[in-house]
């Protein structure tokens, strides 16, 4: 049962006012809270379209992703002679699940369904293309 005090991701203002960030993959928009705070945590509310993906990359700090809606896959990699080598099976995250990635860990991300995520990055956010 819903009433005037019940919100969904479609009706709350939290998921509005997203913008496109320069040099990021197609289908990605974000809304930040404390962008560039070198001593804090950058927090983003992200929306990804189904079928969009991030190439192999790393971040300079630890990160946490909470899947609010949708389903995504994360594949880890390690550096090998001549490029990158797959490191383990993909990790699948569904609505309500949280994933953590250590700083500088190479990974990609594929959005299997439309996703809404809460993403937190230790210190100022950074994206390093790998491979």
Contact 76, 87 (CB under 8 A): yes
pLDDT given for residue 1 in this prediction: 33
| Domain ranges (residues) in the chain | 21-129
Alpha-carbon distances of 90 from 5, 73, 74, 81, 93, rounded to whole Å: 39, 6, 5, 22, 10
pTM over 0.85? The answer is: no
Question: Which one-letter DSSP state was computed for residue 19?
Answer: B
pLDDT given for residue 14 in this prediction: 57
CATH number listed for the domain at residues 21-129: 2.60.120.10
Alpha-carbon distances of 2 from 5, 10, 113, rounded to whole Å: 8, 14, 25
Q: Which residues of 8-34 are buried (b: 16+ CB within 10 A; e: fewer)?
A: eeeeeeebeeeeebeeeeebbbbbbee
Each residue's pLDDT, cut to its tens digit, for the chain (131 residues) gives 334 455 566 765 556 777 888 888 889 887 766 555 455 678 889 999 999 999 999 998 888 899 999 999 999 999 999 899 999 999 999 999 999 998 899 999 999 999 999 998 877 777 888 97
pLDDT given for residue 34 in this prediction: 55
């Amino acid at each position: 049962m819903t009433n005037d005090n019940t919100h969904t991701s479609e009706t709350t203002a939290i998921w509005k006012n997203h913008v496109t960030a320069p040099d990021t993959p197609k289908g990605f928009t974000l809304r930040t809270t404390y962008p560039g705070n070198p001593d804090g945590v950058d927090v983003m509310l992200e929306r990804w379209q189904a079928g969009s993906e991030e190439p192999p990359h790393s971040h300079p700090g630890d990160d946490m992703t909470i899947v609010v809606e949708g389903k995504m896959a994360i594949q880890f990699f390690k550096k090998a002679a001549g490029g990158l080598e797959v490191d383990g099976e993909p990790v699948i995250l569904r609505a309500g699940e949280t994933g953590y990635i250590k700083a500088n860990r190479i990974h990609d991300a594929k959005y299997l369904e439309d996703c809404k995520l809460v993403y937190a990055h230790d210190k100022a956010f950074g994206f390093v293309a790998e491979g």
